[in-house]
């Protein structure tokens, strides 16, 4: 078999066989297929697509290119995955809620990159929190308290790691079959029995339209089911940041607002819907009953109790979380509105980049984020604002970053003369 023939076949719109896909994935992981041939194949897939069978082969071969996590000693294991966004703190609410409801949450999460945040960075803003447990510690913690969240291990789907880095620099990220197989290879390798995907659409998401997000969600659900997992997906909005606190420690603080202080917000609503749908996928319980159980668990304080127990189990300081002693960068700045009007819409990617400019994110993979940086957004879509009203409170360790971050926020918020006629649906639909 030759890579040249595989590339040529796909370039002309042919269907790749399971053997050809296996040859490529193995060769690229081991280094016998060079970057230039892998890049040519990725571009051909971007232009010509892949059918479901090809996509399943690609996913399964990438999944088996490295270690897979064996969770067979645990019952009812669940995982959730978000395609990424701004102020997306849902994992911090969903995972302890499901653990409090008796499911086993064994989750591997990612770090932030560009405008999107990552759960691992947020958790690491809690003093002492250890996100690199050994596999034995990870599984034993899930057995003991029903929840553990760690960073992805180096050898989880290594084929995807190489391919994703290559796609990032060859303009080949943007392909539904490549995104679907990349995400699902990692999720399947992480071993949970039931998986709920939160596929975002909008100005802060990979998928700019609801229809594109729906296609991606539908394909990923099929891939997971073919691999024998219980699957569901919610298509949710990233037309505006989900939470109003954007950063790392700031998002932990917003989770506390929801779990301890009962804050009702968009972030609470989307989190409880995700938890309810995952509970339903895992247990077969109907959605209305699952919703009721989830809301009762959060409102009774049981989720917050589990959240603090989880933090303690992973070496974190629950007192720092409960008593508001999380890191916050020293320079505080208030951004006020330069005009009167209504908040009509937003370039949410730009709003995410503003947090990155303040130091909270990574422009390249090797940047070290400032875990106390970020900002609180005081306005929501549809709000009327007047000249001088507080729009955002910014936190940074580098005072020279405030001016460019303020510019970015003002440029990203679309302030108009009249109230928008409709606001984007927070939750578009459920796919199972
Ligand atoms: N996230 C992934 O893990 N892979 C992609 O291809 C895109 C987003």
Share of the chain above pLDDT 90, in %: 92
Find the 182 Cα to ligand 1 centroid distance in Å: 5
160 among known catalytic residues: yes
57 among known catalytic residues: no
Of 62, 173, 179, best ligand 1 pocket probe by most atoms within 8 Å of the beta carbon: 179
Q: 53-93, pLDDT tens digit by residue? A: 999 999 999 999 999 999 999 999 999 999 999 999 999 99
Where are the CATH 3.40.1030.10 domain residues in the chain? 77-322
Where are the CATH 3.90.1170.30 domain residues in the chain? 331-416
Q: How much is the pLDDT for 75?
A: 94
Angle at 187 between CA 98 and CA 71, to 5 degrees: 65
Q: Give the position of tokens 């879509």.
A: 381
Residues 6+ apart with CB under 8 A from 231: 194, 195, 196, 197, 220, 221, 224, 225, 281, 432
Has residue 112 got a pLDDT over 90? no
Q: Which helix (H) or strand (E) holds 23?
A: helix 18-30
Q: How much is the pLDDT for 153?
A: 86
Q: How much is the pLDDT for 78?
A: 98
Find the 417 Cα to ligand 1 centroid distance in Å: 38
Q: What's the pTM value of the predicted model, to 2 decimals? A: 0.95
Provide Rg for the chain, Cα atoms: 22
Task: Measure the CA–CA gap between 390 and 161, rounded to whole angstroms.
Answer: 42
> Mean pLDDT, to the nearest integer, of 352-374?
91
Architecture of the domain spanning 331-416: Alpha-Beta Complex (3.90)
Has residue 38 got a pLDDT over 90? yes
Query: Among the listed ranges 169-173, 238-242, 310-314, which one has the minimum average pLDDT value?
Result: 169-173
Q: How much is the pLDDT for 322?
A: 97
Q: 333 exposed, middle or buried (CB, 10 Å; 0-12, 13-18, 19+)?
A: middle
Catalytic residue among 122, 186, 200, 306: 186
Has residue 252 got a pLDDT over 90? yes
> Mean pLDDT, to the nearest integer, of 118-142?
96
Q: Give the position of tokens 């989750």.
A: 107
Catalytic residue among 10, 81, 122, 408: 81
pLDDT band at 113 (very low <50, low <70, confident <90, very high): confident
Find the 224 Cα to ligand 1 centroid distance in Å: 15
143 among known catalytic residues: no
Has residue 272 got a pLDDT over 90? yes
Has residue 206 got a pLDDT over 90? no
Tell me, which fold does domain 3-49 have in CATH? Answer: 1.20.970
> Which atom of ligand 1 is nearest to 179's Cα?
6
DSSP calls for 116-169: B--HHHHHHTSTT------HHHHHHHHHHHSEEEEEPPTTBSHHHHHHHHHHHT
pLDDT band at 116 (very low <50, low <70, confident <90, very high): confident
- Residue from 42, 74, 72, 69 nearest 58 by CA: 42
Catalytic residue among 91, 182, 345, 412: 182
Half-sphere exposure of 416 (CA within 13 A, CB side): 10
Find the 183 Cα to ligand 1 centroid distance in Å: 5
Tell me, which fold does domain 77-322 have in CATH? Answer: Pyrimidine Nucleoside Phosphorylase; Chain A, domain 2 (3.40.1030)
Atom 1 (ligand 1) nearest CA:
183
């Amino acid at each position: 078999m030759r890579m040249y023939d595989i590339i040529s076949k796909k370039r002309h719109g042919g269907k790749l066989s399971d053997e050809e896909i296996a040859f490529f994935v193995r060769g690229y992981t081991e280094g016998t297929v060079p970057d230039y041939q892998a890049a040519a194949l990725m571009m051909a897939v971007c232009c010509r697509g892949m059918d479901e069978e090809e996509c399943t082969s690609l996913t399964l071969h990438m999944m088996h290119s490295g270690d897979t996590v064996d969770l067979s000693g645990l019952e009812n294991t669940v995982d959730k995955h978000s395609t990424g966004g701004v102020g997306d703190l849902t994992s911090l609410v969903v995972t302890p809620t499901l653990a409090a409801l008796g499911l086993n949450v064994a989750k591997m999460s990612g770090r932030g990159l560009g405008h999107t945040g990552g759960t691992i960075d947020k958790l690491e803003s809690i003093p002492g929190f250890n996100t690199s447990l050994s596999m034995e510690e990870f599984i034993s913690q899930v057995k003991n308290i029903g929840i553990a969240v760690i960073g992805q291990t180096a050898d989880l789907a290594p084929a995807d790691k190489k391919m994703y880095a290559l796609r990032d620099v060859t303009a080949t990220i943007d392909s539904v079959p490549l995104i679907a197989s990349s995400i699902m290879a990692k999720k399947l390798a992480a071993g949970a029995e039931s998986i709920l995907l939160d596929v975002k659409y909008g100005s802060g998401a990979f998928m700019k339209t609801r229809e594109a997000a729906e296609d991606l969600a539908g394909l990923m659900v099929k891939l997971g089911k073919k691999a024998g997992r219980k699957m569901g997906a919610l298509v949710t909005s990233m037309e505006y940041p989900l939470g109003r606190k954007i950063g790392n420690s700031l998002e932990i603080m917003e989770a506390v607002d929801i779990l301890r202080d009962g804050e009702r917000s968009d972030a609470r609503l989307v989190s409880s819907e995700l938890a309810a749908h995952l509970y339903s996928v895992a247990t077969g319980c109907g959605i209305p009953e699952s919703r009721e159980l989830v809301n009762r668990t959060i409102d009774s304080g049981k989720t917050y109790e589990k959240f603090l127990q989880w933090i303690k189990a992973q070496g974190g300081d629950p007192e720092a979380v409960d008593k508001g002693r999380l890191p916050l960068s020293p320079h505080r700045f208030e951004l006020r509105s330069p005009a009167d009007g209504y908040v009509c819409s937003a370039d949410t990617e730009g709003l995410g980049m503003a947090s990155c400019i303040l130091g909270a994110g990574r422009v390249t993979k090797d940047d070290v984020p400032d875990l106390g940086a970020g900002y609180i957004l005081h306005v929501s879509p549809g709000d009327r604002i007047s000249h001088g009203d507080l729009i955002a409170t910014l936190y940074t360790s580098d005072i020279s970053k405030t001016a460019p971050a303020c510019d970015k926020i003002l440029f990203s918020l679309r302030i108009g003369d009249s109230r928008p006629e409709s606001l984007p649906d927070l939750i578009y639909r459920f796919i199972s």
